[in-house]
Structure 1
Amino acid sequence: MAEENHGSLEADMAAANGSDNGPTVGIINQYIKDMSVENPNAPESHQWEQQPQIDVQFNIGSRSFGDEMHEVELKINVTAKAEQGTAFIVELAYAAMVGMRNVPEDQAHAFLFGEAPRIIFPFARRILADAVRDAGFPPLMLEPMDFNTLYLQQLAQKQAAEAGEQPAGNA
């Protein structure tokens, strides 16, 4: 019994002396990594009466640098096309530096591909809206995204594919 108390006392003293053994995650910095705005049919495209069809594509990537640092990159490609041609194209690579310590691998992966994109998306959304507005069009206001649910769906699809199962809905 004395040994258990001694071990607990050591842990309490280590915590009191600033030992940092608990899981910690934080966004260190956010930045535009790359951005392109194309307005290929201006000024004619500003006179088109037809509402363009908007195609939005997302891609999330992550890479580690150092033991406790990761970069999460959210790529968003927006293309607006009308019958007459392309109105605009905006490509944005928005990234965040993420500090992470004492986090199990499965939870780290979920944070990097689900939670971190959720945190940085509002900033990227604002940059896209401003870029489209600055190209002479009404601001593009993307709906909020549930990156955590998307992450879980993709994880389930990957696990099903690895198990040799057919995805639901395929005939």
Structure 2
Amino acid sequence: MTDASAPPADTTLTGAGAPPAPAYRVLAQFVRDLSFENPRAPESLRVEGKPAIDMGVEMSAQGRPDGLFEVDIKLSVKASQAEQALFHVELVYGGLFQLQGVREQDIEPMLLVECPRYLFPFAREIVSKQTSDGGFYPPLLLEPIDFAAIYMARRQQQQAQMEAPAAGQA
């Protein structure tokens, strides 16, 4: 039984003339680049204890002539133990996004925070599968990433770099 008074799921409940709520649509997701190295196999598979993990995260976004945006997350994960490399995974995972109702000043945070937040679980699964396929058990499960904190730190770093030359000229 359905509720006849409920609006269809795809309608927006904004008032007449009100701008639509900010949103994005994911049009495609893809692996742009993937590399897995296991330089000491099979000896690296017999390691006891927990390896040291060194992880890097980068986000990038660019507009396209058709009005869509490409967003990439680059994950680099290196595992080592006793200064011996165990594995190295590099993944660039991307998505094609369409933004709707996003104000100009909110485009960059949407592309570098919300879009990567959407893509991350899929990239996490790929890294996990690669480490599992490489013979490592248990596979590496990346912790959730705070993309907003990374974005804010990046903005502060850019602002500090812009202020540093000005301070040197005074």
Q: What do you get for the CA RMSD once the two structures are aligned?
A: 2.3
Residues 139-154 of structure 1 mapped to structure 2, 5 A cutoff: 139-154=139-154
C-alpha displacement at 1:36, in angstroms? 0.9
Unaligned runs of 5+ in 1: 1-11, 16-20, 166-171
Q: 1:24 to 1:141 in 2, by over 3 A?
A: closer
1:84-111 alpha-carbon deviations (Å, 9 max, x no partner)? 6211111111001011245333211001
Counterpart of 2:158 in structure 1 is: 158
Output the amino acid matched with 1:139. P
Counterpart of 1:106 in structure 2 is: 105
Pairing 1:128–2:127 present: yes
- 3-state DSSP class of the match of 1:163? helix
Could you tell me whether the CA contact under 8 Å between 1:72 and 1:96 is conserved in 2?
yes
Counterparts of 1:87 and 1:156, CA distance in 2: 34
Output the amino acid matched with 2:26. I
C-alpha displacement at 1:119, in angstroms? 1.1
Q: 1:164 to 1:84 in 2, by over 3 A?
A: closer
Counterpart of 1:81 in structure 2 is: 80
4+ residue stretches of structure 1 with deviation over 3 A?
Answer: 21-24
Could you tell me whether the CA contact under 8 Å between 1:68 and 1:101 is conserved in 2?
no
C-alpha displacement at 1:81, in angstroms? 1.2
Counterparts of 1:154 and 1:92, CA distance in 2: 21
Identify, as 1 or 2, the structure richer in helix: 1
Counterpart of 2:93 in structure 1 is: 94
Counterpart of 2:27 in structure 1 is: 28
Could you tell me whether the CA contact under 8 Å between 1:62 and 1:72 is conserved in 2?
yes
C-alpha displacement at 1:155, in angstroms? 1.6
1:45-65 alpha-carbon deviations (Å, 9 max, x no partner)? 112325321111011111111
C-alpha displacement at 1:24, in angstroms? 4.3
Residues 7-26 of structure 1 mapped to structure 2, 5 A cutoff: 22=20, 23-26=22-25
C-alpha displacement at 1:67, in angstroms? 4.0
1:119-150 alpha-carbon deviations (Å, 9 max, x no partner)? 11111111111111111112111111110122
Output the amino acid matched with 1:77. S
Unaligned runs of 5+ in 2: 1-15, 166-170
- Count of matched residue pairs: 149
Counterparts of 1:145 and 1:33, CA distance in 2: 20
- 3-state DSSP class of the match of 2:40? coil
TM score, norm. by length of structure 2: 0.78
Counterpart of 2:8 in structure 1 is: none
TM score, norm. by length of structure 1: 0.77
